[in-house]
Every structure is written in C-alpha cells, then in structure tokens.
Structure 1
Amino acid sequence: MSNSDIKQRSPKNKTLRLSEEERVLYKSKLVYAGSQTLSLETLKNKTLCADLFGVLDALPPFCADLLIIDPPYNLDKNFHGFKFSKSGDEAYSEYVYSWFPRLLRVLKPNGSVYICGDWKSSFCLYEIMKKHTVVRSRITWQREKGRGARANWKNACEDIWFGTIGDDYYFDADAVKQKRRVLAPYRENGAPKDWQETENGNFRLTSAGNFWDDISVPYWSMSENTDHPTQKPEKLIAKLILASCPEDGLVFDPFLGSGTTSVTAKKLGRNFIGIEMNEEYCCWAEKRLKSAETDKTIQGYADGVFWERNTSTFQQKRK
C-alpha cells in the first residue's frame, strides 16, 4: 500500500512518505531470504526482508551484543495486510516459545536481551525469560497515548523485560542518566547541592530507574513518525542501546517494523541487523536510515543525557 492510498496529509504533517521511485530504490537495498547466505558480513547494517520463522536457524550465531524484541502483542492487529490474531494466554506463550529460545543463539555470551509487551502478555514473557535468561529488571514506560476507557482503567503503560545470558554483561548506567528539573532546590553552605543552576532553570542529573515517564509516542508532527500501528519511539530504544550495547557493538531486532531500532543504533554509532517480513515497512526503514546519515538527533536526548518530557525548550536553548 502506498502512502498516497492512505489519506491526504496536512502540509505540516511530517509522517514518512515514499514515492514510487523511492520505493524501487529502497527495495534494491534490502536483503531477501534465499537470495544469499545469511552471514554476518551479508546482514551487518542491513534490513533482511523475511519471515523470522523461515530464517531463524540460518542466522549467524554469537554476533549480537544486544537483542531488542518487539513482537506482536496478544491483540488483533492489522500490520498493513499482515494480520496477527489474539489468542489465549497458553497459545500466545506457545507462539513466543516457538522462536525465543532459538533466537538467543545470535547473542554473544555477555549479551543482553529486552522484550516488549503489554500488561496482558507481560507475565507470559516473564515466564519465558526466566527459563532462558537471567532476568535483571522489568521496565515500565508510560505511553501517554490511547483512548480513554469507561468501564476500566485507561491502558497507558507497557513493559520491557531485561535479561542477560549470564552474570558477565555490559551495562553503562552513566550513559542513560536523566536531566530533571529541580522544583525545591536544596543548598548547602549557600551552594546548590547535587543540582546545577542555569539561566534556563535548575536541573540535576539522576540515575535511570525502571519507570519511564519521559517518553513521547511518535505522532504526526515528529519527523520519526510513520504509519506503523505500533511504532516505538527512538528515545525509548536509545535508552536500551546506550545502556546495553557498547560503541561499535551490534544490535539485533527480529521484528523491525518501520526501522526504529536500526535507525537509532545508526544514530548512536552502533551496528545493526533488522528482520521484517513486510516489504513496505522495510522500505520505510531504509528511508529512515538514509536520513540518519545526516540527521543524528533523537527527540528528548541531547548533550549526552535524556531530558524530561516537555523540557524541549530548555534543550533547544542549550544547542
């Protein structure tokens, strides 16, 4: 489906579009299953257009420092022609079990894995993670998007489970510190204590916790936005990459979607491999990767720190 088939856009709408000429160009940059051997040399910094189940056992082993998994949640969802149907908890667990243990073989012995889910699927993911990894934490992030609910609480959060292959793993806590506004500044001997006074306000650097309330889901006025129905924000993925993948390391995403993991990895100086079965989504990813060659910005991340939501004014003044 072409972008022109969807709807007319406002001139201010920054949602990604593809012309037919661009679609032909970006298809030529994809790696297709069956066209060549799926070696690390073939796949590094590429988008593999394939069904994961068809290539799973042919993927290069022990190549990735970080595995980021954002599978279809246990919901009825139409991914532009590729439909995923909701099932019972047991059936969904069997679906994840059918690929998760086999997928771990792409990780290095000191590698890390993050897997995303909503509240309905989260407990299934934990049970699978604890059988095959050392579970380190559960991250909950606030989506700040979605319709209200009249007979239930609005679903406004999602989970990300963090695990490692063993006890020797990479984690850079300093790389994911957050810049927070200080509302009640405390002084010691007249000087700021653990915070910085600036002309744009008072701020302190804090260590990252496992509840994230600073994430903005992509929308029409953001340049990273696409028509993918479950697109993850670059800022969200940037935290995972900076914490758990060293510079020049490799990030692997087997459910790439519109390319957020690969694009963010490229912006942050990491290598990547992405797998996506929807050819149109693969082309969206390639266009975003092309843009990332000249635009390294990540909304909400600047000066080596993550800024609170709605502090972009301060962020822009510092540039």
Structure 2
Amino acid sequence: MTFSTNQLRNSIQRGDCIEVMQAIPSRSVDFILTDPPYLVRYKCRDGRSIMNDDNAEWLEPAAHEMYRVLNRDSLCVSFYGWTQTDRFIAAWRSAGFRIVGHIVFRKRYASAKRFVSYTHESAYVLAKGRPALPEHPPADVIDFPYSGNRLHPTQKPVMALMPLITAFCPEGGLVLDPFCGSGSTLVAARQAGCDYLGIELDHRYHRIAARRLAA
C-alpha cells in the first residue's frame, strides 16, 4: 500500500515508522524534526518508558527511510542520546545525511546527576543534498522550558521546536516526525503555518497526540 502525500497531510499514523515510511512516496516531505529513542533504556520517575529504547535494530533502517522520503536539498533535525552518539552518526551517514549543525537545548533544571548535572538536550542538523541557507538561522543554543513531561516521558516543549520549523521548513510545507510521541512537533508545525505528519508506535501516545491535535 502506498499513501499519497495529500492523504497523509495533517495526520498521525499509528504503527512502526519504518513500515509507514515505506508506504510514503520518495521526496514528499519538506522537513523532518524528530526525537527518537535514545537507546538508554530510559525510565522516568513514575515508571513510564519508551518503546524500542532497549535496542538499535530500528536505527539504521529508519534513517534510510527518513532520507528517502525527505525532499531534495532539505534538512532534518534529530535529537539523540549522547552516550550513543557514534551509533546515531553512523546510521545517519549510512543513509546519506551530512551533518551541517549541532544544537544545544539549555535547561534550567537538571534531569539527572552523575559525574555532572544534565542540564541540556542535543540535536544534530542533517542535510540531504545542498539545502539553501535559511534567511534567519536559529541559534545553536535554545532555551528549553520544562514541559512537565505530563503527556510523555520525554515530552519536548513546543516553544523550543518552533524556531527550527520556521527556519528550516517553507511555509505550508510538510513536517514529518516519525517518532512523534505526544505530538509536540506536530503542534509546533501547525502553529508555524505548516502541515504535519506524525508516526507513533505506542498506542497510548498516539491517542494523546491525536487528542492534542484535535483540541
């Protein structure tokens, strides 16, 4: 089964992102912004966890599908787990992406403390082809308001995602998040005047994202 781009615009698909992306035509999305599992077996204080955070079998095939469905000369921004940086970079490069930037999201709180206090998240900016430089490039350090993680164990704040969409996606373009969780990327895309396509494997968070976008 193959979806047309119009069928997918402003929708949230439930399922394995690799399988769903395989049904999407090549070069049909304008920007990818995603927060995949970090491969760290994360469990938050209330016991919630992330599906497929305990294995990397999905990482390389997902990167290849992301590259395929992304339009020519376009960008992807992906969060990643810093302890698994080498695995993420290897998967992105295997798919064909070039690293063209790095973003630090600065927190006002520590999410954990070990040898250091963890007060930031990170994402790489990945290029397919030769994207044009944005008219107003976002800063490479962005403040990261606390979302409270009420809707998802690693819920990203919409306000931290908005500058990336406005800089890297054309107005009215299609933003894809293949690991959309509770839908923060999709909300940010809609607020930025773009269409969205979310994919989520976990039925709990798919339902939350759908309710959030319907509100």
**Is 1:237 aligned with 2:205?**
no
The answer to whether structure 1 residue 152 and structure 2 residue 124 are counterparts is no
- Displacement of 1:49 in angstroms is 0.9
Say if 1:144 and 1:82 are closer, same or farther in 2 by CA, change over 3 A: same
CA contact (8 A) 2:67 2:97 kept: no
The separation in 2 between residues aligned to 1:111 and 1:81, in whole angstroms, is: 32
SS at match of 1:77: coil
Shift of 1:136: 0.9
Superposed CA deviations along residues 80-136 of structure 1, whole A, max 9, x for unmatched, are 57643545xxxx3x5411221122111110211111013212333233334412221
Aligned counterparts of 1:116 and 1:231: Cα–Cα separation in 2: 12
Instruction: Verify the 8 A CA contact 1:44 1:272 in the aligned structure 2.
Output: yes
Q: Is the 8 A contact 1:49 1:278 kept in 2?
A: yes
Q: 1:250 to 1:81 in 2, by over 3 A?
A: same
The equivalent position to 2:42 in structure 1, one of 77, 83, 91, is 77
Q: 1:216 aligns with which of 139, 145, 168?
A: 145
Q: What is the 5 A alignment of 1:117-128?
A: 117-128=80-91
Q: What CA distance in whole angstroms lies between the structure 1 residues aligned with 2:19 and 2:134?
A: 32
For residues 264-304 of structure 1, give each alpha carbon's deviation from its aligned partner in whole angstroms, at most 9, with x where no partner exists: 1111110111101122212221222233xxxxxxxxxxxxx
Which has the higher mean CA deviation after the structures are superposed, 254-263 or 271-280? 271-280
Deviation of the 1:62 alpha carbon: 1.1
How far apart are the structure 2 equivalents of 1:59 and 1:246? 20
Amino acid in structure 1 at the alignment position of 2:145: S
1:228 aligns to 2:152 (yes or no): yes
Q: Which has the larger radius of gyration?
A: 1
Give the distance between the partners of 1:41 and 1:69, measured in 2 at CA. Answer: 21
* Deviation string, structure 1 residues 5-59 (Cα, Å, up to 9, x no partner): xxxxxxxxxxxxxxxxxxxxxxxxxxxxxxx752212211111111113323212
Q: List gaps (5 residues or longer) in structure 1.
A: 1-35, 177-207, 220-224, 292-319
Residue 99 of structure 1 aligns to a residue whose secondary structure is: helix
Residue 258 of structure 1 deviates from its aligned partner by: 0.3
Q: Is the 8 A contact 1:218 1:233 kept in 2?
A: yes
Root-mean-square deviation (CA, aligned residues, Å) is 2.4
**What secondary structure sits across from 2:92 in the alignment?**
helix
Is residue 37–residue 53 contact of structure 2 (8 Å, CA) maintained in 1? Answer: no
Q: Taking structure 1 as reference, are residues 76 and 63 closer, same or farther at Cα in structure 2, changes over 3 Å only? A: same
What TM-score does the superposition give when structure 1 sets the normalisation length? Answer: 0.60
CA contact (8 A) 1:263 1:285 kept: no
Counterpart among 26, 31, 51 of residue 61 in structure 1: 26
Name the % identity: 26
1:28-47 alignment, distance < 5 Å: 37-47=2-12
Number of residue equivalences? 211
1:253 aligns with 2:182: no
Structure 2-normalised TM-score? 0.86
Matched-pair contact (CA < 8 Å) for 2:50–2:153: no
CA change 1:285–1:167 in 2 (3 A) is: same
Unpaired runs of 5+ residues, structure 2, are none
Answer yes or no: is the 8 Å Cα contact 2:51–2:202 preserved in 1: no
Q: Secondary structure, in 3 states, of the residue corresponding to 1:84?
A: coil
Q: Distance in 1 between matches of 2:67 and 2:53?
A: 25
Q: Does the 8 A contact of 1:238 with 1:265 survive in 2? A: yes
